[in-house]
Structure 1
């Protein structure tokens, strides 16, 4: 199991350049590159600079995070999604990053579950076709908030299954899985090849529907029972990668190096109970 770093964990106090240097120092295998951090990086650096870094270091790019609010968009908003998709596909071609996380829209109004499903399938189908020439995969990330249009593992998995494209899969995030009470049985029945990205995190002990990103804590230090999730992933045969992703403002106040170091240590400690996460030489 390779260990990745998601830049949300240092969102407010770091840059892509700093994250890369420190993640390399602490032995991360992979990084999820945030779209906003990438655009910021390119103001003073080139794509070739980024390519060179990855070529000359151990850490590699795994996914771009994220195209947000992809369904139920107006014409201008949806065009921006497609423009950003093309931008990321073109960058990914150069730096060899072939996955993009896509996030459903919040507060969509009084649409039924079937209408949400239909719209999500339509959008994913179209975006996936645009990604095909670049050999890029799209990973749908359900968000465990009551007001997100796609907010459980089962709902998201049903959508990507019905899209039925090789380049469309799902993000499994432990926080989102716990936050809206996703069912372990749905994960047990999932095809591991459809799990494109695995985010690990933990959270405070709040009821279903009340949790928000700022309630996240380090893996193993919160209320989520991570063991059944990790055990199930091992049983179904998933062992590609795990990415530490927190949005906790408290940790944005820390020194960036401390955050990246603690993220690696806590992830190894928890995931190492089920998977080999030893740093490869």
Structure 2
């Protein structure tokens, strides 16, 4: 089992500081946001320099999170999306990172299910083919407030693509708030299809309330409606022994000391007997 600090949890920081925070608060990995990485590179940083810092702090990059809006299907938009995939894969290779996260947002929600699934199959297959020769795997995150929001939908797309470098991330909030996945479905999974776990809390949108992650996820572990012990038990029942990353998407908590945020996130996982 490996613990990776999630870049979202320390949103108001930079890619360099995140390595130091991770090291000093007890993690061995970092789930890095591309916007943090590319901001560093655009302002004088280099991959070589970042690798030196990774070595200094003994932190590996476990995932680049994420390639978003993978349902883009109009020719120019799709070409741009695939260019973004290539850029992220090149970055992953530079940092020795094995996994890139991919996710659809609401770009496909107005389409019939069959058309939506056909686009996802085609695009995910193309993304997988970009990463395959580079040794890069892709974890699908289903998103609670979209039409593509259940574990079974993701697993069926993976089955249909037939790509052996595509799996899922088990994100507690997205699966809970999406309302279409039960912990026992996770417990029945082949662990080889789980590429990561996002340990997090929150709630679903209330009746009449617009979806807004900065509202519905503004909870530290134990404060929201997610049955965290049930999801932890489900993942552990599979035999999965990979990366666990606490994802604290919480504007209220983001204003705390960055080191305290990271340490508190790790403590919340250890309180669930993760070690």
Indicate the residue corresponding to 1:22 in structure 2. Answer: 21
Contact 2:20 2:57 (8 Å CA) reproduced: no
> Is 1:105 the equivalent of 2:105?
yes
* Structure 1 counterpart of 2:73: 73
User: Does the CA contact (< 8 Å) of 1:179 and 1:208 recur in 2?
Assistant: no
In the other structure, the counterpart of 1:127 is: 127
In the other structure, the counterpart of 1:193 is 192
Q: Structure 2 matches for 1:23-38, cutoff 5 A?
A: 23-38=22-37
Identify the residue that residue 53 of structure 2 maps to in structure 1.
Answer: 53
Return the TM-score normalized by structure 1.
0.89
Name structure 1 gaps, 5 residues minimum: none
Measure the CA separation in 1 of the matches of 2:44 and 2:261: 25
Asked if the contact 1:180–1:209 (Cα under 8 Å) also holds between the matched residues in 2, the reply is no
Shift of 1:56: 2.8
Decide whether the 8 Å contact of 2:30 with 2:62 is kept in 1.
yes
Distance in 1, matches of 2:109 and 2:242, equals 37
Q: TM-score, normalised by structure 2?
A: 0.91
Q: Select 1:153's aligned residue among 147, 151, 154.
A: 151
Do the aligned residues in 1 keep the contact of 2:19 with 2:57 (CA within 8 Å)?
no
* CA RMSD, Structure 1 to Structure 2 (Å): 1.9
Change (3 A) 1:208 1:263: farther
How far residue 219 of structure 1 moved from its aligned partner, in angstroms, is 2.0
Q: What secondary structure does 2:129 align onto?
A: helix
Equivalent of residue 169 in structure 1, options 161, 167, 170: 167
Distance 1:33 1:261 in 2: 17
Q: CA deviation at 1:103?
A: 0.8
Count of residue correspondences: 270
SS in 2 for 1:9: coil
Equivalent pair of 1:116/1:149 in contact (CA under 8 Å)? no
SS in structure 2 opposite 1:202?
A: coil
Distance in 1, matches of 2:165 and 2:198, equals 19
What CA distance in whole angstroms lies between the structure 1 residues aligned with 2:241 and 2:221? 18
- Cα distance in structure 2, aligned partners of 1:41 and 1:193: 33
